[in-house]
Amino acid sequence: MTVEPSVRILIVDDEAAQMKALCDTLRDHGYEPVGFSSGQAALAALRETKFHLLLSDLMMPEMDGIALLQAAVKTDPYLVSIIMTGQGTIPTAVEALKAGAFDYILKPFKLSFVLPVLSRALAMRQLRLENVELEQRVRERSAELEIANKELEAFAHSVSHDLRSPLAAIDGFAQILDEDFRDPLGDDGHRFVTMMRREAKRMNQLIEGLLAFSLLGRRAMNFGEIDMEMLVDDLIFAQHTEVAQTKTSIRHASLPKIWGDSTLLRQVWINLISNALKYSSKRQSPMIEIGCRAEPLRDVFYIKDNGAGFDMSNYDKLFGVFHRLHNAEDFPGTGIGLSLVQRIIMRHGGTVWAEGVVDAGATFYFSIPRKESDRSD
């Protein structure tokens, strides 16, 4: 086997003849070895020159191999160390592995064993360098994303705040126009003003949704045990007027207790239950089913309705901010609710997905990871 001549190996052995013989042998196989019989001299060379590998004798009078490799790693954290030892000191060599050595080779040397160890050590060094580079790129990318998210959230908050005042003025002037100038406006004028105020209200809802979406990323998570069955029961009761008006049948199986942020998960259920009620409201017999299935590492909750459903070919737009798959005249809304649901569940470490058929209903799922102590095998 031959290697690139730039692969430098630092060899340390107090037996000078043996050290020189190993240097000569490795040089013949394409390595660039530099030998020392003193640990201190080797450390001085390491501070001046970059080496890929360190081969050190384990038992040396001035500085043993373990002390040398520990000092060497402080100088070059990417240096891969290999301990050389005799048969009688193998237990001590194992201690060297615990101290950070990559491997050990036995004296007297067998080239057929030494060369594969060096090859593996070089592969390990390359892997370490690639991991460091990858971690650096991840840190840089994470920092860039954090800055971008903060800028986006600040922009959304600013836009939301700055749009509120002129929008309130528009709605206020429209109200005055309708109340004080009703006769000159006539029926057509009244209808236009009514449409103007309705659209102003819709725009205000969009602004509120945008603000809620931007604030969600900055909100601290407050984890605790949540009784999902009690939470859902409370929310269904709060919707009893709409449930009664639409004659919707709602049933749900037993729901487990989970670990999460109760305020945020309450918002998830509010959005999903409201959607199910809205999109099934035009059915003659609206039905909603809520349930959960237990998996080893997570609980998967679902809410199913027999409403308008959706075309799965548009699935990629389903959880997008302001994206709606239905006509606003048929089913009013802002297009933010499902985006909030997805973001909340992602902050819990879970996922959200859905299945739908046009005019045959939809089922929305979300998963919540279990606490380590609650996981089943």
Q: Which residues of the chain have pLDDT under 50?
A: 1-2
CB 104 within 8 A of CB 89: no
* 90 shares a domain with 62: yes
Among 189, 216, 243, which residue terminates a domain?
A: 216
Report the interhelical angle of 111-180 vs 182-216 (nearest 10°). 160
* 181 shares a domain with 229: no
- What's the pLDDT at 184? 84
In a domain, 252, yes or no: yes
Q: How far apart are CA 85 and CA 107, in angstroms?
A: 6
Q: Please, which residues bridge with residue 226 across strands?
A: 258
- What's the pLDDT at 258? 92
CB 78 within 8 A of CB 50: no
In a domain, 135, yes or no: no
In a domain, 114, yes or no: no
- What's the pLDDT at 1? 46
- What's the pLDDT at 2? 47
* 292 shares a domain with 250: yes
Taking only the tens place, the pLDDT of each residue in 221-261 is 888 999 999 999 988 888 888 888 888 888 888 899 999 98
CB 217 within 8 A of CB 149: yes
In a domain, 1, yes or no: no
Closest by Cα among 239, 240, 276, 243 to 362? 276
* 328 shares a domain with 232: yes
* 255 shares a domain with 149: no
* 370 shares a domain with 230: yes
* 209 shares a domain with 88: no
In a domain, 118, yes or no: no
CB neighbourhood size of 57 (10 A) = 22
Taking only the tens place, the pLDDT of each residue in 113-124 is 888 888 888 888
62 backbone dihedrals φ, ψ, rounded to 5°: -80, -45
* 212 shares a domain with 264: no
In a domain, 134, yes or no: no
Furthest-apart CA atoms within the chain: distance in Å: 113
Phi-psi region of 100 (alpha: psi -120 to 50; beta: other; left: phi over 0): left
The contacts of residue 185 (CB under 8 Å, 6+ apart) are 177, 178, 193
Q: How far apart are CA 64 and CA 243, in angstroms?
A: 80
Count of domains forming the chain: 3
Q: Please, which residues bridge with residue 287 across strands?
A: 249
In a domain, 351, yes or no: yes
Among 59, 90, 109, which residue terminates a domain?
A: 109
- What's the pLDDT at 108? 80
Domain that holds residue 316: 223-374
Kindly report the CATH number assigned to the domain that includes residue 168: 1.10.287
* 189 shares a domain with 275: no
68 backbone dihedrals φ, ψ, rounded to 5°: -65, -45
* 235 shares a domain with 210: no
* 335 shares a domain with 260: yes
Among 178, 197, 216, which residue terminates a domain?
A: 216
In a domain, 129, yes or no: no
* 67 shares a domain with 13: yes
3-state secondary structure of 191: helix
